[in-house]
């Protein structure tokens, strides 16, 4: 296949590969890393399913191959297959030449993507801009300027379709030639948060929306760390504009480092709680950024094949950059309190369904991921923890706490209980893995 197709447009060969892809990702005991190893070893999902007797060549064990043979995956795979029938989206398989090359290189690359919009954006150089949902006026100004300038040069801006910094990055990038890619933590047909309806529609029309989740999947807390690896995986680098000390944006930055991507941060004013996460990133080696020129200079080698350089910035944009840099020193300290109240009001905006086949996630779930995680019952938190270990493999407690947005003390108590039940195993180096 040379381009993406909706389910109805898939030919027989592509439907067979799609069904095999669903078999892999719905098979118990197979996480994204295992599926990716199978795809790289055998070349396609269909070949992998047909070669389960040889899965040890991909580093998998006999138990995983036996689970595939039981067919226990068929019920949920059939549900996803049926939901895709009438889906207004293209299905991009790992075997498709349009599948992004940077994403394909990841050890946990998704077996397929659902896409709405212009998939030619996958061929453009991309840069991620992420930050706080509870952003300040200054943070939104910086994000807007960065997105506009980079997109004007032909760089596609990637973000996560959240409120705050994400939304501003998408809106401003869409007005320039680079445009924007939004990576969802829900099914491709679920609009979340509800206040983003206008951005959602514009991204569908002028940009590109991407999701690896089953159609209809709701915004569960555990989806967003999984989503974040695609944001960073599609990009040459990641810029964090505003992040508190426990912001989910720091997860994206950490994933970017694991993927050998460049990480940048806007330091912001000293003692500003909105920027403490960014300042910690800089202490850990992230590159401080004060203008789009900084990014263009640093990524010059990767951007050169696309004819993009600092010279691509217009004089008007360079002039606007000077104003933005000046603001970082003069305005940031005094505006955080007023912006918090205005943002609180903006999060309460309602959204009407216009009749399209897009489901709006309930507004009550619109709070940041940390708040959602804190509202989970203990049993649900344990399930999130185990799902995370199954997906990502052995992890240290500190990393788990960051991914799940839990206090380390609370997490340690939960790990002890799960270890006693045999659902978690402690490994050398204070790491944990899901029980066998």
Question: Going by C-beta distance under 8 Å and a sequence separation of 6 or more, which residues neighbour residue 280?
Answer: 245, 250
pLDDT at 333: 39
| Residues 72, 143 within the same domain | no
pLDDT at 68: 94
- pLDDT higher than 60, residue 90: yes
- pLDDT higher than 70, residue 372: no
| Residues 307, 394 within the same domain | no
| Residues 193, 235 within the same domain | yes
Express each pLDDT in 228-237 by its tens digit.
Answer: 999 999 999 9
Whether residue 361 lies inside any domain: the answer is no
- pLDDT higher than 50, residue 363: no
| Residues 198, 319 within the same domain | yes
Whether residue 421 lies inside any domain: the answer is yes
| Residues 198, 305 within the same domain | yes
In order, the DSSP letters of 406-418 are: --HHHHHHHHHHH
Contact 265/286 with Cβ under 8 angstroms? yes
Beta-strand ranges (E) seen in 269-423 are: 287-288, 359-360, 395-396
The closest of 423, 419, 354 to 386, measured between CA atoms, is 423
pLDDT at 181: 98
Domain residue limits at 313: 118-339
| Residues 74, 178 within the same domain | no
| Residues 125, 44 within the same domain | no
Whether residue 371 lies inside any domain: the answer is no
- pLDDT higher than 90, residue 318: no
Question: Going by C-beta distance under 8 Å and a sequence separation of 6 or more, which residues neighbour residue 307?
Answer: 154
3-state helix, strand, coil in the chain (%, to 5): 55, 10, 35
Whether residue 344 lies inside any domain: the answer is no
**Max Cα distance, the chain (Å):** 65
Contact 381/373 with Cβ under 8 angstroms? yes
Exposure on the CB side of residue 14, measured as CA atoms within 13 A: 19
Whether residue 128 lies inside any domain: the answer is yes
CATH of the domain at 400: 1.10.10.10
User: What mean pLDDT do residues 393-414 have?
Assistant: 75
Query: What CA–CA distance (Å, rounded) separates 252 from 391?
Result: 16
User: What mean pLDDT do residues 73-96 have?
Assistant: 94
- pLDDT higher than 80, residue 92: yes
| Residues 127, 81 within the same domain | no
What does DSSP assign to residue 5?
B
CATH of the domain at 329: 3.40.50.450
Query: What CA–CA distance (Å, rounded) separates 53 from 55?
Result: 6
Question: Going by C-beta distance under 8 Å and a sequence separation of 6 or more, which residues neighbour residue 300?
Answer: 309, 310
Query: What CA–CA distance (Å, rounded) separates 397 from 433?
Result: 10
* % residues pLDDT > 90 (the chain): 51
- pLDDT higher than 50, residue 40: yes
Neighbour count for residue 326 (Cβ, 10 Å): 10
Q: How confident is the model at residue 347 (pLDDT cuts 50, 70, 90)?
A: very low
Structural domain count, the chain: 3
User: What mean pLDDT do residues 121-130 have?
Assistant: 95
Whether residue 353 lies inside any domain: the answer is no
User: What mean pLDDT do residues 70-75 have?
Assistant: 94
Whether residue 369 lies inside any domain: the answer is no
Express each pLDDT in 190-220 by its tens digit.
Answer: 999 988 899 999 999 999 999 999 999 999 9
Q: How far is CA 215 from CA 7, 79, 85, 310, 413, in A?
A: 12, 9, 10, 41, 35
- pLDDT higher than 50, residue 345: no
* % residues pLDDT > 70 (the chain): 79
Sheet (strand 424-427) strand order: 395-396, 431-434, 424-427
pLDDT at 430: 63
- pLDDT higher than 50, residue 255: yes
Task: Give 128's strand partners.
Answer: 158, 238
| Residues 155, 276 within the same domain | yes
Q: Which helix (H) or strand (E) holds 224?
A: helix 223-233
The closest of 118, 127, 124, 143 to 207, measured between CA atoms, is 118
Query: What CA–CA distance (Å, rounded) separates 241 from 278?
Result: 7
The closest of 294, 353, 360 to 328, measured between CA atoms, is 294
Whether residue 146 lies inside any domain: the answer is yes
| Residues 151, 227 within the same domain | yes
| Residues 247, 331 within the same domain | yes
pLDDT at 320: 55
| Residues 192, 302 within the same domain | yes
């Amino acid at each position: 296949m040379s381009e993406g197709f909706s389910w109805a447009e898939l030919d027989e060969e592509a439907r067979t590969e799609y069904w095999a892809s669903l078999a892999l990702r719905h098979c118990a005991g197979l996480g994204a890393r295992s599926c990716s190893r199978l795809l790289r070893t055998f070349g396609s999902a269909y070949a992998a399913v047909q070669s389960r007797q040889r899965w040890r060549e991909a580093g998998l064990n006999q138990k995983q191959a036996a689970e595939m043979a039981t067919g226990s995956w068929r019920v949920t795979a059939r549900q996803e297959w049926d939901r895709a029938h009438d889906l207004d989206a293209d299905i991009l398989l790992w075997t498709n030449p349009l599948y992004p090359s940077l994403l394909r290189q990841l050890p946990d690359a998704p077996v397929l993507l659902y896409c709405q919009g212009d998939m030619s954006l996958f061929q453009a150089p991309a840069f991620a801009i992420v930050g706080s949902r509870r952003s300040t006026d200054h943070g939104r100004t910086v994000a807007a300027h960065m997105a506009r300038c980079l997109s004007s040069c032909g760089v596609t801006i990637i973000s996560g379709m959240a409120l705050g910094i994400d939304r501003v990055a998408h809106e401003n990038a869409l007005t320039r030639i680079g445009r924007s890619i939004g990576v969802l933590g829900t099914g491709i047909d679920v609009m979340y948060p509800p206040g983003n309806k206008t951005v959602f529609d514009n991204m569908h029309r002028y940009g590109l929306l991407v999701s690896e989740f089953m159609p209809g999947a709701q915004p569960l807390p555990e989806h967003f760390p999984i989503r974040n690896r695609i944001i960073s995986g599609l990009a040459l680098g990641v810029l964090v504009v505003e992040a508190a000390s426990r912001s989910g944006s720091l997860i994206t930055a950490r994933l970017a480092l694991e993927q050998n991507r460049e990480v940048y941060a806007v330091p912001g004013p000293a003692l500003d709680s909105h920027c403490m996460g960014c300042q910690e990133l800089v202490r850990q080696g992230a590159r401080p950024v004060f203008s789009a020129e900084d990014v263009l200079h640093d990524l010059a080698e990767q951007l050169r094949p696309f004819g993009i350089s600092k010279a691509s910035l217009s004089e008007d944009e360079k002039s606007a950059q000077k104003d933005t840099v000046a603001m970082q020193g003069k305005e940031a300290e005094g505006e955080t309190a007023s912006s918090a109240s205005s943002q609180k009001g903006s999060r309460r905006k309602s959204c009407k369904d216009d009749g399209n086949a897009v489901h709006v996630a309930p507004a009550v779930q619109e709070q940041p991921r940390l708040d959602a995680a804190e509202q989970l019952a203990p049993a649900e938190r344990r399930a999130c923890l185990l799902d995370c270990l199954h997906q990502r493999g052995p992890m240290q407690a500190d990393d788990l706490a960051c991914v799940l947005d839990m206090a380390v003390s609370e997490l340690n108590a939960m790990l002890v209980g799960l270890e006693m039940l045999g659902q978690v195993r402690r490994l050398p180096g204070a790491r944990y893995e899901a029980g066998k």
